Structure 1
Amino acid sequence: MLPSTKEYAIGAVLILLVDVLWTGSNYISNTVLTHGYEKPFAMTYLCTASFTLYLIPFFVLIRQGSGREQAETWWSKLGFYLPHMSNAIPTRAGRPSYTAETRRPAIRLRPSSIDGRRPATDLPVSPRRKSVSRLPETQALIGQRDEEVPSQGENSSLSHAEALVHASELPPLSIRETAVLSMEFAVIWFVANWSFVAALAYTSVASGTTLGSTSGFFTLVLGSVLGIDRFSLCKFAAVALSFLGVALVTWADQDTSHMPQAPTKPLLGDAFALASALCYAGYVTLLKVRIGSEDRISMPLFLGCVGAFNLVAFWPVGLLLHVTGMEPISWPHDSLTTLGIVFNMCITVVSDFAYLAAMLKSSPLLTTIGLSLTIPMAVCGDAIRQAMALSLQSICGSILVLTSFAQIAWDENRSG
């Protein structure tokens, strides 16, 4: 069902709020990292650990025993629900099936974001394909739960329409499966965020935001290679525009050394931002391959588990960085820096919650285009701070990346 005008307006306001929060978070990180507290690992560790707060509502639900009933409430649509698997029932193919009670509360198809820090494109399993493609590593979660689809040549009396199961119609992942999945993906997720925070220490916020946003296009390319997304001519043109924009932004960064408050190592920062985009794209794509559809998983539960796993598993990395002298462990040198870090942790939790709410109130097209507004916001912010002049290259590069976002969103909306 399409959202009402009032809901659409609320969704638009929430998207703008998320844009402001994410852009502000990037500036806070940049300020903290460039004013005496150059510790990107510590910043990443603390912010990712804050996602553990998402587990609190699930502990409350467990104590209340709400997993027995899947009431379709606004709270559950945000992802705060306990997946409950009912007993399997036989089908005429001789394979187990699951009742409708196993499915999560209804939610509209949304742009794939996962950690929400960058806009990304939809990656639906295309119903145009004659079969649901399987890679060896997908069998653990997709193959394990998709027993309704007969193997090739088996029970040929079943029609093709009966054999094809859209990934979003599969049962949701259980709490245990979600926890295991979060452990499998926590490393690449942490590296993606660590690289992006490191980029903010060396390059401008505008460049880091623009280059980091190209994760959506790496996702598109990887999705097409793995056969889980349709690569149209329109999307190819969007990817070309995006990389042209990246080249222009990188070129503009080479001419900032003479400016006041210029980035210390802009090209190194740009490289970190692109590495972050590539890692994030790999993370999103592999997650899509593993579970088939993002709608099968409770994102707050997944992020909470990722935060808890990072909190427990990554402190030895910080200790190793301290021992080697690469990033000595130390408390912030002043109260403002401490306040900035704490405020950034709060933004991480609040902004992603607002992002989930915005996706429910608006449409995928509005969400995708709206979140890409962080690019012009960052460009204008850098111009005000005089960290990066509004050169012709940077303006054109940002416009090209922004245009490519709109082009992909339009193509997805038209074909969807």
Structure 2
Amino acid sequence: MSREPISTQAASPPSWPQPADTMVQHTNFLDILQDPLLSKPQDASAPKPQAEQPLCDLLWGYLSLLAVVVTWIAQSEVCQLVQVDGYNKPMAITWFNHSASVVILPILMVAQVDVRGSFHTLFGRELTEWRVWRQAWMLAVVYLAADWVWYLGLPCLSVAMGTVVFSSSPAWVYLISLTMGQKVQLRKIVALVACLGGVGVIFARKGQDNVSLDQAPVPMSVEIMGNVFVLAASFGYAVYQLLFDKTMAQIGTDNIWTINVFVAVMGVLNVVLIWPVLFLVSIPGLPASIREVPEIPSRAAFTGVMINASLALAFNISFAVATVKMGPFLTSIATVVTIPMTMVVDATLHGDHFGCDACVGSLLVLGGFVGLVATS
């Protein structure tokens, strides 16, 4: 299924971006977002126009969205258990999760996928090879940071309420799209206000989340701190999705195997270049909420970390494929579907009780989500 390398001499197909040889050098990820060469005919925050997509592409897109939803809930619950009950090392867990992507390459080789062809598509042009590597590194850093703050917030509140706050991600996608030249629409602004208003209600609710299996409630101050971390994570994920989608458009591919190879490359860069962050977060003087000293997990914690890394690997792959196949906006709102399911899981595992304030906040976020979808 690998795509043949795109010729730099022949004219590009009308629906594809310009060939990657015309890429300008970027100094930071904001330049990538604003590069006119990365612009697409459709709004970058909107779902891909389904009428123009082959059935196979739609199938991969919807399967990826389903995998995003399932693996999101599973890894969040598993990792919260690991963090609350013995190994609260958000950076170590995040780094290990992202480094696990390196196993994609041998898996694809065993499956006899044309990995060499995918590498040529990604890095086969002399003028752009190092620029693509540089963008892969920036994407790896942005994604690691976004995931890290999510894991910082995860032990501080229930997965359900964390998911509600995280569901503001579509709003961030839309706001960032406005900075990229998208026209302002009143209906989207109203939906955006509703979405962020729901997040505000969640912030203001009394501390009543249980995150451990002994059903011990979380103090309100801790819960607010967790909400702040999760809100930052939702913004970071929005930036990552837009960057990833535009990078694939710039390269000129939406082949699922090439996307997987790119995710694996990000994992390699994570292992080779980004490992110093494990020690940077241990510097004395950092706030206690983010400082962590590297520590080898116990046998029980290691089992949980491995299970979580496997789920995170599946999530990272499906998240990347869905972002390219279905668009950043539709993928970002997939987490909204998990809200009722995470509430059921949290009520069952942790004995959480969701009062009127939680329900009102959730309904506002869901209403904003519906409004954003309806106007896209």
Do they fold alike, i.e. is TM over 0.5? yes
More helix by share: 2
CA offset at residue 210 of structure 1? Answer: 1.7
CA offset at residue 203 of structure 1? Answer: 1.7
**Residue of structure 1 aligned with 2:279, choices 307, 310, 319:** 319
**Residue of structure 2 aligned with 1:247, choices 189, 200, 203:** 200
Q: Which secondary structure does the structure 1 equivalent of 2:239 belong to?
A: helix
Report 1:59-138 matches (<5 A): 67=117, 82-83=120-121
Q: Answer yes or no: is the 8 Å Cα contact 1:15–1:371 preserved in 2.
A: no
Give the structure-1-normalised TM-score.
0.63
Report 1:10-409 matches (<5 A): 15-56=65-106, 67=117, 82-83=120-121, 176-227=130-181, 229-256=182-209, 260-263=215-218, 265-285=222-242, 296=253, 298-322=258-282, 324=284, 326-335=291-300, 337-354=301-318, 370-386=334-350, 388-409=352-373
Larger radius of gyration: 1
Which structure 1 residue ranges, 5 or more long, are not aligned? 68-79, 88-143, 145-173
CA offset at residue 19 of structure 1? Answer: 1.5
CA pair 250-63 structure 1, distance change in 2 beyond 3 A:
closer
| Alpha-carbon separation, structure 1, partners of 2:94 and 2:100 | 10
CA pair 304-8 structure 1, distance change in 2 beyond 3 A:
closer
| Alpha-carbon separation, structure 1, partners of 2:369 and 2:360 | 14
CA pair 189-383 structure 1, distance change in 2 beyond 3 A:
same
| Alpha-carbon separation, structure 1, partners of 2:351 and 2:268 | 36
CA offset at residue 29 of structure 1? Answer: 1.1
Encode CA deviations 1:375-408: one digit per residue, 9 max, x unaligned.
Answer: 2222222222345311111122122222322322
> What letter matches 2:237 in structure 1?
Y
| Alpha-carbon separation, structure 1, partners of 2:251 and 2:366 | 25
> What letter matches 2:273 in structure 1?
A
Encode CA deviations 1:168-209: one digit per residue, 9 max, x unaligned.
Answer: xxxxxx664432211123322211110001110212211221
% identical aligned pairs: 23
Which structure 2 residue ranges, 5 or more long, are not aligned? 1-51, 286-290
Q: Answer yes or no: is the 8 Å Cα contact 2:209–2:352 preserved in 1.
A: yes
Structure-2 residue corresponding to 1:124: none
CA pair 58-7 structure 1, distance change in 2 beyond 3 A:
closer
CA pair 175-25 structure 1, distance change in 2 beyond 3 A:
farther
| Alpha-carbon separation, structure 1, partners of 2:112 and 2:58 | 33
CA offset at residue 31 of structure 1? Answer: 0.8
